[in-house]
Structure 1
Amino acid sequence: MPIDPQAYRPEAALLTLGDAFFDPVAPADFPETRLRFRNDRAAAQVGLNTLTDDEWTRHFGRFEPLPDTLPQPLALRYHGHQFRNYNPDLGDGRGFTFAQMRDDRNRLVDLGTKGSGQTPWSRAGDGRLTLKGGVRETLATEMLEALNVPTSRTLSLIETGEELQRGDEPSPTRSAVLVRLNHSHVRIGSFQRLAYERDEAALRKLVGYTLSNLYDEDSDDPVRLLDLVVARTARLSARYMAAGFVHGVLNSDNINVTGESFDYGPWRFAPTWDPAFTAAYFDHQGLYSFGRQPEAIHWGVMQLAVSLRQIADSEPLVAALDTFGPRYQPEVTEAILWRLGVLPRDPDADRDLVQATERALRTSGVGIDRFFFDVFGGDLPDTYAEPWTEVRAALAAYEPRKGRAHSYWSGEPCSMLIEEVEAIWAPIAEHDDWSALNAKVAKIREMGEALAS
């Protein structure tokens, strides 16, 4: 098998936790495996880009074990709050972790699935993923990566030849299995399950695993873990806002402890800076609306603190939790300055510029993607009149962090609004025409290159 022997560094750290943390499972036996998307850019970071297409589909569609890593797929156990209601009947219901390895940054990463079949945690579900859902997740991860949001990457999408019945899609609809590359699948809900079961020994073991393997720290201190998670999730919240992204379902089982966004269902990008904009049609109260995402993530991290209370004193946990807001503010300032394409200047001036930008976006109704495209580098076009006077004056003092020489800036802004997602899906559904998806991925990556620091 042509795996790059220098870049491929297999691991099996998950096994050190013991079988109380997961259930060995078998993948579904699909009628067919038709490769629809392979992310060689991400695969190169873990030494898998040299696989042939046939080998690729065997490993990521039939799940033949990769060498020297996990011997079989593992469905992880966890609980979680779903729309603030606690649910002890969760766990990997249509996915599993089937390999671990080191990436080119020496991080431990997981290969996890979506749509790979039933597990003990499927709760009467079929364990499958619709092809449209796989296409949507591919688009979300590519767009977020380009916009500097910590995210899982879609490594592979394979059509599996089954007809699925779904209430939110025209049915029957086509099926797929997706493989994601993720820094971790350890969720806040992973700790909640152990706290719910009052298993202090297992809680301590998971704290040590997380600090050692995901943060490279020789520690088993729960307070230290919470402090690191607060910092990472504050950054994620800020990057969501700068990207104009709405995850849609920020339940505590969908927030992992490395602050890396993952598991995309009803996501949307907000057309304008509307704090009330929601992604999920079933989010009737706007709990996970665009403007409430930092609050939602902070609330989720609070549940981690509550879980860790069984093995740590309350006072230092509360103190760590209370740093979320003070950490979020400089993170959102930095993230929006990055999208503006200017270098930081002074903390007070930077904060004022960002607040003026948010006010003008909210009151003007200008499209988020249009504005950040036009202003990149700090030169606001003359077509922006009121309410942009304050922003224009503030930008005059800033230096660009990067020029506009890249060919991307000679075209139109790359966006990913719901209408565009539907327009990409339509030719796939009607004619099995994947050209629009491939073109969009290429355009997103071009934008990523133009924005990159």
Structure 2
Amino acid sequence: MAVDPQAYRPERTLTALGDPFYDEVAAARSPQATLRFRNDRAAAQVGLDTLDDAEWVAHFGRFTPLPGTLERPLALRYHGHQFRVYNPDIGDGRGFTFAQLRDDRGRLLDLGTKGSGQTPWSRFGDGRLTLKGGVREVLATEMLEALNVPTSRSFSLIETGEALERNDEPSPTRGSVLVRLSHSHIRIGTFQRLAYHRDEDALRRLTGYVLRELYGEDSDDPVRLLELVVARTATLAARYMAAGFVHGVLNSDNINVTGESFDYGPWRFAPVWDPGFVAAYFDHAGLYAFGRQPEAILWDVMQLASSLAQIAESEPLIAALDGFAGLYQPAIAEAVLWRLGRVPRAPEENRALVQAVERALRATLTPVDQFFFDAFAQPLPQTYGNAWDEVRQHLAAFSPRRARDHAYWQGEPCSMLIDRVEAIWSPIADADDWGPFGATIANIRAMGDALR
């Protein structure tokens, strides 16, 4: 096997948690395995970019074990609040953790799947992923990575040759299996399950594991864990907002304890700065609307605190939760300034600029992506009218953090609104034409290079 022996660092730390945390499973056998996307940028960071395509398909389409890591795939057990209704009957229902690796920074990462077949937690589902769903997840993760949002990375997408029946898209539709590279798949819901069963020993064991293996801290203090999760999730919420991104399903089983976004279903990017914009057609109450995402994420973190209350005093947990707003405010300012290409100044100046930007975006209904493209590291064009005078006044005090010297700035802003997603999918569905998809990935990465 052609792994890079200098960069490939397999791990299997999950097995130390023991059987109560997972079920050993097997991948479904698919009639075909056609490689549609491989992320060699991500693969290089874990020593797997030297695999040839046949080896790649063997590992990420047929799930031949990688050397030195998990011998069998593990479907993780968890519970969760789904639209704030507690569900004790969930877990990895169409995916599993396939391998663990260290990246070139020493971080512990998981290779996890979506669409790899049924598990004990599939309930009545077929355990599969549509090809369109896989394409959408690749587009979401590539966009979010380019926009500086902590996210899992789509590692591989392989078409399986299956015809799947779905209620929410024309059927039969093509099947796929996705592999994502993520900084763990341990969720808030993983802790909720242990609290539900009042398994204090397992709660302590999981707390220590997360602190040591995922945060690099020699501690088993549940309060310290909550403080870290609060800080990471406040940053995540802020960067969602600056990116104009709506996850769509911010249930507690979809919030990773490392504060890394993952598992993209009905996601959308907001065309304009509309706090009420929703991604999921079934989110009738707007619970996870664009402007409510910080609230939704904090609510989920509160469920982690409630779980940890079985092994910690309540007062310091409440104090940790109370820190969310104080961390979110500077994080949203930093995230917006990053996207504007400006060097931060004093906190009050940063906050005043961000508030002015939000007011102007809401009042004028200017497209979000167009504004950030036009404003990056330069004065606002004259085509922006008097409603933007306050923004111009604030921007004048901020220095550019880099020049507009990348070729990306000579074109149009890269955007991933729903019409664009459909325009990428249509040639795949109609003529198996992957050209627009590949060109879009290249354009997204050019945007990321220009913004960094």
Please classify the TM superposition score into its range, dividing by the shorter chain length: over 0.9
Q: Secondary structure at the match of 1:439?
A: helix
Give the whole-Å Cα distance in 2 for the aligned partners of 1:268 and 1:104: 31
Tell me the residue number matched to 1:103. Answer: 103
1:378 deviates by 4.0
The answer for unaligned runs of 5 or more in structure 1 is none
The question of whether the paired residues in 2 share the 8 Å contact of 1:342 and 1:378 is answered with: no
Asked if 1:78 is matched to 2:78, the reply is yes
Give the whole-Å Cα distance in 1 for the aligned partners of 2:317 and 2:345: 33
Identity %: 74
| Equivalent runs, 1:294-443 vs 2, <5 Å | 294-443=294-443
Give the whole-Å Cα distance in 2 for the aligned partners of 1:378 and 1:148: 20
Output one character per residue of 1:258-295: Cα deviation in whole Å (capped at 9) or x when no partner.
00000000000000000000000000000000000000
| Equivalent runs, 1:138-153 vs 2, <5 Å | 138-153=138-153
Amino acid at match of 1:389: D
Q: Secondary structure at the match of 2:387?
A: coil
Q: Secondary structure at the match of 2:35?
A: strand
Structure 2 length-normalised TM:
1.00
1:387 deviates by 1.1
Output one character per residue of 1:341-370: Cα deviation in whole Å (capped at 9) or x when no partner.
110111111110000000000111000000
The question of whether the paired residues in 2 share the 8 Å contact of 1:230 and 1:323 is answered with: yes
Give the whole-Å Cα distance in 2 for the aligned partners of 1:303 and 1:359: 32
Amino acid at match of 1:30: S
Give the whole-Å Cα distance in 2 for the aligned partners of 1:35 and 1:117: 18
The question of whether the paired residues in 2 share the 8 Å contact of 1:247 and 1:267 is answered with: yes
Tell me the residue number matched to 1:129. Answer: 129
1:135 deviates by 0.1
- After the TM superposition, list the runs of 4 or more consecutive aligned residues in structure 1 that deviate by more than 4 angstroms: none
Output one character per residue of 1:395-452: Cα deviation in whole Å (capped at 9) or x when no partner.
1111000100110001100000000000000000000000000000000000000000
The question of whether the paired residues in 2 share the 8 Å contact of 1:378 and 1:396 is answered with: no
Amino acid at match of 1:59: H
| Equivalent runs, 1:3-402 vs 2, <5 Å | 3-402=3-402
The question of whether the paired residues in 2 share the 8 Å contact of 1:378 and 1:398 is answered with: no
Give the whole-Å Cα distance in 1 for the aligned partners of 2:78 and 2:396: 50
Give the whole-Å Cα distance in 2 for the aligned partners of 1:386 and 1:179: 48
Give the whole-Å Cα distance in 2 for the aligned partners of 1:404 and 1:91: 46
Mean CA deviation greater in 338-347 or 290-299: 338-347
Give the whole-Å Cα distance in 1 for the aligned partners of 2:170 and 2:295: 34
Q: Secondary structure at the match of 2:86?
A: strand
Amino acid at match of 2:180: R
Amino acid at match of 1:381: P
1:379 deviates by 1.3
1:5 deviates by 0.4
Amino acid at match of 2:417: L
Q: Secondary structure at the match of 2:75?
A: strand
Give the whole-Å Cα distance in 1 for the aligned partners of 2:120 and 2:386: 58
Q: Superposition RMSD on alpha carbons, in Å?
A: 0.4
Give the whole-Å Cα distance in 1 for the aligned partners of 2:95 and 2:264: 13
1:127 deviates by 0.1
1:386 deviates by 2.4
1:104 deviates by 1.1
The question of whether the paired residues in 2 share the 8 Å contact of 1:340 and 1:377 is answered with: yes
Amino acid at match of 2:237: S
Q: Say how many residue pairs are matched.
A: 452
Amino acid at match of 2:326: P
1:105 deviates by 1.4
Give the whole-Å Cα distance in 2 for the aligned partners of 1:378 and 1:411: 16
Amino acid at match of 2:15: L
Amino acid at match of 2:171: S
Amino acid at match of 2:314: S
Structure 1 length-normalised TM:
0.99
Give the whole-Å Cα distance in 1 for the aligned partners of 2:156 and 2:379: 39
1:375 deviates by 0.3
1:175 deviates by 0.1
